[in-house]
Amino acid sequence: MADTVCCESCVYYVFNEDNEEYECLVTLDEDEYASVLSSGFRQCPYYRLDDEYAVVRKQN
């Protein structure tokens, strides 16, 4: 389980105020969606860490 990714720390995982729940904003076509489903969700290929300080580090 060490290679699994926590969606809560992903930049694409946001709160939808209309539905009052979190959702993934990655838009996949039919082939990409099938590929993610067949992978067993062990590691999302679209995961990006929501690093708030990345811009600040680039400025220094």
Q: What is the pLDDT of residue 33?
A: 81
What is the C-alpha to C-alpha distance for residues 10 and 28, in angstroms, rounded to an integer? 16
* Alpha helix (H) residue ranges in 1-60: 30-38, 54-59
Q: Are 10 and 24 in contact (CB under 8 A)?
A: yes
- Tens of pLDDT, residue by residue over 11-31, are 899 999 999 999 989 998 998
Mean pLDDT score, 28-49: 80
What are the sequence ranges of the domains in the chain?
A: 7-59
What is this structure's pTM? 0.62
Q: What is the pLDDT of residue 1?
A: 43
Above 70 in pLDDT, residue 38?
Answer: yes
Q: What is the pLDDT of residue 3?
A: 56
Q: Hey, what are 58's tokens?
A: 């680039």
